[in-house]
């Protein structure tokens, strides 16, 4: 599959390596591609990455994403599933830029013909692309309105090492705010652990313990 990744930072590079290892054709999109000659990955302008993509991935800072997408233009994005990983945070990482909404919702509203799926934003880049290195299975969430886009995203998550049993569809695009708002708790947990590489697992009550069963 041809994947265009908007961004060239740690997250974008980790995902690019992960999906290239799985056999996908990946192109990074940068605002200044000529300055990214240090990367061992193909890099092009943002609009070229979008044109390349059967699936587009947003790995840009959440406070800049909408402007970047508008610079590409709605016609170029129309019909292309967009996997959104971005989170908008203040410069000191203490406040959400979208406290009563989510970046994913705003993207979906601004580009109604581009099916948006939110995922992978509840963990760092190492956990995103190497879930097998964590101490046991954990959970990755999916939010979005388009069933087919979610199915495509699920297959790409599997290619990164996330089995179907670890993927939890939590509903429509409005549920993306729960994923993004987890960022504040994520930073608290990271501070407590002294590490950013961890994830959470949704644990349900055992049927044997459920009095209603």
pLDDT band at 206 (very low <50, low <70, confident <90, very high): confident
Residues found in the chain: 213
User: Residue 71 in 3-state DSSP?
Assistant: helix
pLDDT over 80 at 189, yes or no: yes
Q: What is the pLDDT of residues 123-140, one digit of tens each?
A: 999 999 999 999 999 999
Q: Rounded to 5 degrees, what are φ and ψ at 210?
A: -90, 115
| Level-2 CATH architecture, domain 2-203 | 3-Layer(aba) Sandwich (3.40)
> Which residues touch 45 (CB under 8 Å, ≥6 apart)?
29, 30, 31, 33
pLDDT band at 90 (very low <50, low <70, confident <90, very high): confident
Separation between Cα atoms, residue 104 and residue 127, nearest integer Å: 21
pTM recorded for the entire structure? 0.94
Helix pair 10-21, 147-159: axis angle to 10 deg: 80
Q: What is the pLDDT of residues 28-79, one digit of tens each?
A: 999 888 788 788 899 999 999 999 999 999 999 999 999 999 999 999 999 9
- The count of other CB atoms within 10 Å of the CB of residue 208 is 6
The ranges assigned to domains in the chain are 2-203
- The predicted pLDDT at position 36 comes to 80
pLDDT over 70 at 25, yes or no: yes
């Amino acid at each position: 599959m041809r994947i265009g990744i908007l961004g060239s930072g740690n997250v974008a590079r980790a995902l690019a390596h992960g999906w290239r290892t799985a056999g996908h054709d990946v192109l990074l999109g940068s605002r200044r591609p000529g300055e990214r000659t240090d990367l061992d990955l193909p890099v092009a302008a943002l609009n070229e990455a979008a044109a390349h993509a059967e699936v587009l991935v947003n790995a840009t800072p959440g406070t800049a994403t909408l402007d970047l997408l508008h610079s590409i233009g709605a016609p170029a994005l129309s019909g292309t599933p967009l996997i959104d990983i971005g989170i908008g945070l203040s410069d000191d990482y203490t406040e959400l830029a979208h406290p009563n909404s989510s970046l994913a919702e705003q993207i979906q509203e601004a580009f109604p013909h581009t099916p948006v799926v939110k995922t992978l934003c509840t963990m760092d880049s190492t956990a995103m692309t190497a879930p097998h290195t964590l101490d046991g299975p954990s959970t990755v969430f999916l939010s979005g309105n388009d069933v087919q886009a979610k199915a495509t995203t699920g297959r790409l998550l599997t290619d990164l090492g996330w089995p179907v049993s670890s993927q939890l569809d939590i509903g429509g695009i409005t549920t993306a705010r729960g994923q993004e708002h987890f960022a504040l708790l994520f930073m608290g947990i990271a501070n407590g652990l002294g590490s950013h590489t961890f994830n959470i697992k949704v644990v349900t009550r055992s049927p044997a313990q459920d009095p209603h069963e």
